[in-house]
């Protein structure tokens, strides 16, 4: 099989660096251009000293000409920056966007939450997501040339709840509270992300239904339910570098038992390498998925009030971004889906 040449735009950021970490261990790719905006001209080691095999690489400017000569281009750019660049890339290049530009299918939702013109939608890059008809999204990614990698919160929340909606066990009234590590906010300097502000403290943000991942979660659950689903989503900032722990709740159909819920989740995910439904009584932790492409899930019912509770843990930079992107690369270019992707966490 031909080794693919791969470029990473936005390589100086957290997402770009994580993509490169995974690509270093991928046997079917060679890493070509690594690009940045204001950091162009720097050596990569200045931004990612952990990437020793690429330490001497010089970050090039992010231009279509620099990226065009590759088989695959990963775009790890700020929201709104991918669309114009993607339009300049030639036919035949597989483009995998880690930003939000092409995730939403409804222009009105994009305009409401992002405040700019909708660029369109690409194949949605969550292989294990249950969608219309109870099938998985995976089939839409085989041979895809343009892929939109999901957001980190939607990855955890959608995989936590889609099964319940697809099977008719969940009926609505969705409430999600999720804690994320500080790397989810990117590398830009922000006062509330200083160690003195964030360490030893938790804080909410995007409260009141305004977080930009809300319409993406609603879109995914609506597809699974095949009817509109709305979500109350509250993110929080946790004093850790990586990880997301999402606690997801919904009303269930009358008479639904915990055993029924667990059976449905086992049926959905028993064949998914990267999604583990934990043994009863064992709860997900962010430490257990650190550095891996895994999603750990535990589901139970609060039968007294007629609700299900699903807790999901991911590494926001691996499964939540870069791991999901490389998984999509494997499907799009005919590789084994697990190639180059870690299935064990780093703990303690």
Pairing of strands 307-314, 244-252: antiparallel
What are the structure tokens assigned to 170, written together? 């969940």
Contact 179, 238 (CB under 8 A): yes
CB proximity list for 84: less than 8 A, separation 6 or greater? none
What are the residues facing 284 on neighbouring strands? none
**Residue 248 annotated in active site:** no
Active-site hit among 98, 152, 248, 328: 152
In this structure, the dihedral spanned by the alpha carbons of residues 176, 182, 184 and 190, taken in order and rounded to 10 degrees, is 120
What are the residues facing 170 on neighbouring strands? 252
- Using alpha carbons only, what angle is made at residue 199 by residues 194 and 203, rounded to the nearest 5 degrees? 90
Return the closest-CA partner of residue 90 out of 183, 7, 3, 164.
7
Pairing of strands 275-277, 123-124: unpaired
Determine the Cα–Cα distance for residues 245 and 196; give it in Å rounded to an integer.
Answer: 23
Q: Write the DSSP string, 238-291.
A: -SSSS-EEEEEEEEE-TT--HHHHHHHHHHHHTT-TTEEEPPTT----HHHHTT
If one counts every other C-beta atom within 10 angstroms of the C-beta of residue 50, the result is 12
CA distances 237 to 188, 208, 348, Å, are 16, 15, 21
Q: Give me the sign of the Cα torsion angle 125, 126, 128, 130.
A: negative
| Residue positions annotated with a catalytic role | 152
């Amino acid at each position: 099989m031909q080794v693919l040449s791969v470029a990473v735009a936005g390589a100086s950021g957290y997402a770009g660096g994580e993509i490169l970490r995974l690509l270093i261990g991928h046997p079917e790719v060679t890493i070509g251009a690594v690009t940045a905006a204001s950091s162009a001209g720097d050596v990569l080691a200045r931004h990612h000293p952990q990437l020793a095999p690429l330490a001497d690489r010089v970050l090039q400017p992010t231009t279509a000409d620099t990226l065009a000569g590759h088989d695959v281009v990963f775009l790890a750019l700020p929201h709104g920056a991918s669309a114009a660049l993607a339009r300049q890339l030639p036919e035949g290049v597989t483009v995998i966007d880690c930003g939000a530009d092409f995730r939403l299918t409804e222009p009105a939702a994009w305009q409401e939450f992002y405040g700019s013109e909708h660029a369109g939608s690409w194949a949605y890059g969550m292989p294990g997501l249950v969608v219309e008809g109870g099938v998985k999204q995976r089939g839409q990614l085989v041979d895809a040339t343009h892929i939109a990698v999901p957001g980190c919160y939607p990855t955890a929340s959608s995989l936590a709840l889609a099964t319940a909606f697809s099977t008719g066990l969940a009926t609505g009234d969705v409430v999600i509270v999720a804690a994320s590590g500080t790397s989810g906010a990117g590398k830009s300097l922000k006062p509330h992300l200083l160690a003195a502000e964030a360490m030893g403290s938790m804080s909410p943000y995007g409260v009141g239904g305004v977080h930009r991942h809300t319409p993406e979660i609603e879109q995914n659950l609506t597809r699974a339910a095949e009817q509109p689903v709305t979500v109350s989503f509250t993110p929080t900032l946790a004093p850790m570098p990586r990880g997301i722990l999402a606690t997801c709740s919904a009303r269930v159909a009358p008479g639904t038992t915990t055993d029924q819920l667990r059976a449905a989740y086992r049926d959905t995910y028993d064949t998914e390498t990267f999604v583990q439904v934990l043994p009863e009584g064992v709860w997900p932790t962010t430490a257990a998925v650190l550095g891996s492409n895994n999603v750990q899930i535990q589901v139970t019912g609060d039968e007294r009030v007629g609700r299900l509770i699903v807790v999901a843990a991911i590494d926001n930079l691996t499964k939540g971004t870069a791991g999901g992107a490389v998984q999509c690369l494997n499907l799009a270019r005919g590789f084994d889906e697990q190639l180059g992707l870690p299935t064990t966490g780093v703990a303690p």
